[in-house]
Structures are given as structure tokens and as C-alpha cells.
Amino acid sequence: MKPKIFIDGREGTTGLQLYDRLRGRRDIELLPISDEKRKDVSGRKKLINSADLVFLCLPDDAAREAVSLIENDRIRVLDASTAHRVADGWVYGLPELSEKQRDSIRGGKRVANPGCHATGAIMLLAPLVEEKLIPQDYPLVITSITGYTGGGKKMIAEYETSDRKERWDLDAPRLYSTGAFHKHIPEITRYSRLKRAPAFTPVVSDYPQGLQVIIPLHLPDKRQEAYNILSARYSGMANIDVKNDSPPYAASNVNADTDKTTLRVLGYDDVMILTAQLNNLGKGASGAAVQNMNLMLGFPEYDGLIL
């Protein structure tokens, strides 16, 4: 019997992308919900409790509410919101962390999909901290540049409006969450095994999809060692490329149409620059959700991904 899947919040950016990825699959059954019922608690509750696996593509408070509606103990949940990424009882859905993490996702009943910025930062930092190349209390500074689709429907409409000429500020990269503690910092800190939270600056720019995390480090003569550690950690993973080349430019949208992540070790003199290039809506959202679903349901890990 095919596992029954319900997407709670299908009308949002991640939900729509996820639905597009899953609707053609023949190894699952998608449970539909009408437009009239999608905000009806009783209707959602019935579908949630009828599913084998539920995706939560909702704001944080709504995701917590959806979990409270579960009455059937066998139901498994994949939450794409920020609500449960560092919560007790939830598995962090980044299988690349380790084989143990991959196994935890396979057996998990409650799995939290990582944030897009956090995905790139953790994949760069976690192996290097684990191998003690980066001290746990290193004063990290992280910049991450993303396409505007990461801001959801409101921001997409802002950038794609017909009267763009009136919005000169949209033509240039814009820092956001200025003066605020960004919601991805706790997961970066925990899953990179840091003892000191990084200084983190997110930037949104005038292109649709793609993201690049940039981490400069003053670690003299450590670039080759960093490359060796990252290459060994991600060896054999079809969705991860590790490079130590120095291209003239490293575009933030290089993986915009795929579910691949490119990790690079760059630098000059005694400066090392780590970068991660991924699709904010792919490995940073719906692609990661599909990968985690595959693991949870016993399907081949990369089924349905664009590699």
C-alpha cells in the first residue's frame, strides 16, 4: 500500500514547490485539501490524522498548532518551519551530518527540515569543528546571499511587480534582519558544535533562486587540510561537490536549478574563505524535504531530486 502524504500549508512557497515535486510520483498517495478547507482546523485535523507522513509548510506558530492536532501515534511529521529545529524530541533533517544522523532521520517520527542559510553554514563548519581545525569558540562571521524567493510570496510579489521602476532599492543587494537575532543562528550554533554563536548577516538580492554562504577565516596554512576534511566527509554523496579551485567569480545562483550543493575552499595569503552554493528552494527547502521523506519512507535517498 502506498504511504499517504498530506502537505499542510501547500499554498506557501515551500508547499507549492513540494507539491510540484511530489504530485507526479507513483510511490506515494497525496491527500488533497480544497481551498475552502485549508484554513479549517477540523478539516486539516482529519487529513493530518489520516496520513502516514505530514509535511508542515507553515509559519512557526501554525506548525506547533498542527502538531497539537495529531491524535494518531503512528503519524510521522516533517516540519519545514523554524519551530522545531532545536526542539527536544525532534531529529534535525540534515543527513549529510553523519551516517548516525541519516539513520536517525530514517527512524524518526518528528523530523525538522533545516533552514536554507543554516544548511550551507553547517555543512561547511561541522566537519571542520569536529576535526578541531576550527576552534569551537572561534569568532565566526558569516554572510549569506540569497535570491528573493526565500522571502516568500510577499517578497516575490515585491520584486516581480510591474511598477518596479518605483522601487529603486530593489535593484541592489539588501541586508535584512538588521539589528535582530536571525532565526537560523540557533541551529547553526548547535549542529556545528559551536560554543559561541556566529555573527550572521543575511542579504537578499535581485535574482530569484540560489544562495551562497560565505565564511572568511584567519587560519594560516589550513586551506589544504580543510579541503581534505570536507572532501573525505562528503565523498560518495551525489548531491555534494567539494572544490578548492579559484574561479574568477563564484555566483550565488550557480545551483539555482538543482538540488546540488557546491562547497568551496578559497583564499589568499593567511585567509581562508569557505563558501557553500545551493538552491534556497531546493536543498534549502523542498529538495531537502523530499530527501528526508525518502529516508523516512525507505525510498532511495535521491529519488525526485535534480542532480
User: 213 in a domain, yes or no?
Assistant: yes
**CA 91, chain centre distance (Å):** 14
Q: Please measure the distance between the N-terminal and C-terminal CA atoms of the chain and give it in whole angstroms.
A: 28
Q: The domain that contains 210 carries what CATH number? A: 3.30.360.10
Label the pairing between strands 174-175 and 110-112.
Answer: unpaired
pLDDT for 42: 85
**pLDDT for residue 297 is more than 80:** yes
pLDDT for 152: 85
- pLDDT tens-digit series, residues 40-84: 788 899 999 999 999 999 999 999 999 999 998 899 999 999 999
**Residues 120, 77 share a domain:** no
**Residues 213, 99 share a domain:** no
Label the pairing between strands 141-147 and 76-79.
Answer: unpaired
pTM: 0.94
DSSP class of residue 297 equals H
**Residues 81, 19 share a domain:** yes
**Residues 155, 109 share a domain:** no
What is the average per-residue pLDDT within 122-128?
A: 98
User: 304 in a domain, yes or no?
Assistant: no
pLDDT for 125: 98
Q: The domain that contains 37 carries what CATH number? A: 3.40.50.720
Beta bridge partners of 8: 56
**Residues 269, 125 share a domain:** yes
Q: How confident is the model at residue 195 (pLDDT cuts 50, 70, 90)?
A: very high
Percent of the chain residues topping a pLDDT of 70: 100
**pLDDT for residue 39 is more than 80:** no
DSSP H or E segment with residue 288:
helix 287-297
In terms of residue numbers, what domain contains 144? 116-280
- pLDDT tens-digit series, residues 148-167: 998 888 889 888 887 777 78
Q: How confident is the model at residue 234 (pLDDT cuts 50, 70, 90)?
A: very high
The total domain count for the chain is 2
**Residues 122, 259 share a domain:** yes
Q: Which residues are catalytic?
A: 116
User: 306 in a domain, yes or no?
Assistant: no
**Residues 246, 293 share a domain:** no
**Residues 86, 72 share a domain:** yes
pLDDT for 295: 98
pLDDT for 246: 86
Q: d(Cα 79, Cα 16) in Å, to the nearest integer?
A: 15
